[in-house]
Chains A and B, each alone.
Chain A
Amino acid sequence: MTALVEARALTRRFDPRLTIGDRIAAAFGATVETRTVRAVSDVSFAIRKGETLGLVGESGCGKSTLGRMVAGILPPSGGAISVDGQPVMRGGHKTTTRIQTVFQDPFASLNPRRRIGDTISEGPIAHGLVTRAAAPAFVADWLTRVGLDPAVATRFPHQFSGGQRQRVAIARALAMQPEILVCDEPVASLDVSIQAQILNLFLDLRAALGLTCLFISHDLSVVRHVSDRVAIMYLGRIVEIGAAARIYAAPRHPYTQALLDSVPKLRLDAASVAFRPIAGELPSPLSPPEGCAFHPRCPRASDLCRRDRPVLTAQPDGTEVACHHA
């Protein structure tokens, strides 16, 4: 059981920039209110080689920020991320090509003014994985592997549909021959039938290349489908992490339970369904509640929850849960 990717106490704060007035006031000794957002607080986990860890949570829970830190795109404010014991970032810069990323919106992540063949080969040429002379054959090979016609290498991103663009984005990430792929909502903007095609492509390539993955999505059924283990995030922290089959069958944290309950399931019987929404609203990350962040919405909250924040604790079956009443 060797961890390939290890995150230790990852934290990310965002400090809003002070206005010039505030800076002058601060220089004269006034106390200026800085509203720091703690997008990710003290998150630790490990991903074993060949494993896919699914990361789920609602908007603003910090899952994308966490993904960007794992991918080495965003430097953490605290803690560290390592691959095989080697740090992914040093001095604010990424030090490895072993991790690559596929983003949600392939329209925003592909340069609209470059031919997609050049987009795919740029990284590998820069890192000496392929020579400029061999690049066309290399690009053709990758386009074939993601199910595109090699002849499209000379086209621009706008000439592709959303699903095809996501194939290009996958080819670009994998052409760097990474061992680890961070996928941030890779199918969120796609139609159902196209989503199935991209998920199948992902499953095929993951098996063929033996990839280790961090798969981020708000869609619980997609995460269930691709993940070996899942981590549930709420307001910047992991509240439950463990084997996907166990968590989906018997969630322990009240938030995980509520989240799974609130997802509309495909009903094949005519029976009328009662929706069971989670009470209340997601609190602002600017002023997270004291104690357990979920306590204002939790049916089982007690005085203890209002006072002390629960830490992730291992359960007998290996699942870790951060709840006083799990």
Chain B
Amino acid sequence: MTAPLLEVTDLRTHFLTRAGVAKAVDGVSFSLAPGEILGLVGESGSGKSVTGFSLIGLVDPPGRIVGGSICFAGRDLVGLPPEEMRALRGRRIAMVFQDPQATLNPVLTIGQQMALALQAHAWVSDRAAAERAAAMLTRVGIPEAASRLSNYPHEFSGGMRQRVAIAMALLNGPELIVADEPTTALDVSIQAQILAEMKALARESGTALIWISHDLATVSSLADRVLVMYAGRIVESGPVGEVLRAPRHPYTRGLLDSLPAMAEPGQRLRQIPGTAPSLLALPPGCPFAPRCPRADAACAAPPPPRVESDGRLFLCHHPLEAAA
């Protein structure tokens, strides 16, 4: 077991709004080894994106990290001065967002912005920067990369733009990439290309990857481990195959049963009733209890985390049976 690259302990990111305190991330702990791919799944408002933003120090007011620690390569990122965080971000920790259109600067050529990303962290000549940028674009599957450096973002298709965004994230050889729904806006054929590239990159370069997604199928074929988030907490985690084959938390089971792929065509899906609770008014006990088929009086108290010997963890008073 190698030393973890990232160790998040009891992370709490809250949004202090006029309507009250929204506990978007409330006591999240996990660790990540070099080269590991971690899937972070959950529905809208589960806190998965805010967790990602917290890691890279991009939580904007009224949001604030109010507790916990993010230990990256031996240093706590919580409370790090902004200039030190900036030196880290883009160099050792990089990110890829859902919308490459919003990531790329529309008035700079791809070559210019990739050179800026390199030159922000080290002295690199323009010529060397162009060479490295072209090499990276080739690596993510952009044909004739050298000639495309002088193109502007709008001259690329959606899938190509996302590949440019990924190439930019990889430029400085980061140890950790946080990818927030990077393929959600893309068509399946392009998504498959990007998934294949990301997996190969993590395997070849030892870059750790946090893949934030609502799509269980994507995560199941990409990640080594999965974290399932609900209402700001990790309700279940473990090796991806085992969690999805035999979930212990009723929410994970419910998510899987909601997928059309898990049902006979034309049959009703086993839906989860109701909707996710408001983060402003979470029930005192288990946040999933109002929608849970197994809930009883005990669920009015917060469920204790249970850790199993095989590295699995779940937060439930009445977990489902372990697989035989």
Contact = CB atoms under 8 A, between A and B. Distances in A.
A263 to B, nearest CB: 5
Contact of B244 (A161, A226, A266, A278): A266
A264 B192 contact: yes
B215 interface: yes
Interface stretch (A23-31, A199-207, A298-306): A199-207
Contacts of A224: 260-261, 265
A194 to B, nearest CB: 7
Contact of A268 (B158, B196, B245): B245
B99 interface: no
Nearest to B43: A191
Contacts of B215: 264
A222 B192 contact: no
A159 interface: no
A194 B192 contact: no
Given A58-B187, A192-B216, A199-B269, A273 B259 contact: no
B265 A225 contact: yes
A225 B264 CA distance: 7
A200 B187 contact: no
Given A224-B260, A225-B263, A268 B189 contact: no
Interface in B191-219: 191-193, 195-196, 199, 214-218
A245 B255 contact: no
Nearest to A276: B192
Contacts of A161: 275
Interface in A138-194: 161, 163, 191-194
A268 B195 contact: no
A245 B272 CA distance: 27
Nearest to B243: A268
Contacts of A222: 260
Contacts of B217: 221, 263-267
Nearest to B141: A277
A318 B69 CA distance: 62
Interface string B231-265: 00000000111101100000000111111111101
Contacts of A95: none
Contacts of B242: 270
Given A200-B268, A203-B266, A264 B218 contact: yes
A226 B266 contact: yes
A277 B183 CA distance: 13
B109 interface: no
A192 B191 CA distance: 19
A225 B260 contact: yes
B17 interface: no
B235 to A, nearest CB: 13
Given A191-B44, A192-B259, A269 B272 contact: no
Contacts of B101: none
A222 B222 CA distance: 21
Nearest to B254: A193
Contacts of B2: none
Interface string A103-120: 000000000000000000
Given A191-B214, A195-B258, A265-B261, A270 B189 contact: no
Interface string B128-164: 0000000000000000000000000000011110000
B271 to A, nearest CB: 4
A152 to B, nearest CB: 14
B297 interface: no
Nearest to B194: A277
Contact of B241 (A59, A268, A278): A268
A270 B239 contact: yes
Contacts of A227: 265
A204 B218 CA distance: 29
B221 interface: yes
A235 interface: no
Contacts of A281: 157, 159-160, 190
Interface in A191-249: 191-197, 199-200, 203-204, 218, 220-222, 224-227, 244-245
A133 B215 CA distance: 47
Interface of A: 58-59, 161, 163, 191-197, 199-200, 203-204, 218, 220-222, 224-227, 244-245, 258-259, 261-271, 273-278, 281-282
Interface of B: 43-44, 157-160, 187-193, 195-196, 199, 214-218, 220-222, 239-242, 244-245, 254-263, 265-266, 268-273, 275-276
24 contacts: A163-B275, A191-B214, A191-B276, A196-B271, A196-B272, A220-B188, A225-B265, A226-B266, A262-B189, A263-B217, A264-B195, A264-B222, A265-B220, A266-B259, A266-B261, A267-B217, A267-B220, A269-B241, A275-B196, A276-B192, A277-B190, A278-B189, A278-B192, A281-B159
Given A58-B189, A270-B239, 6 more contacts: A58-B187, A59-B187, A192-B255, A204-B268, A226-B266, A276-B192
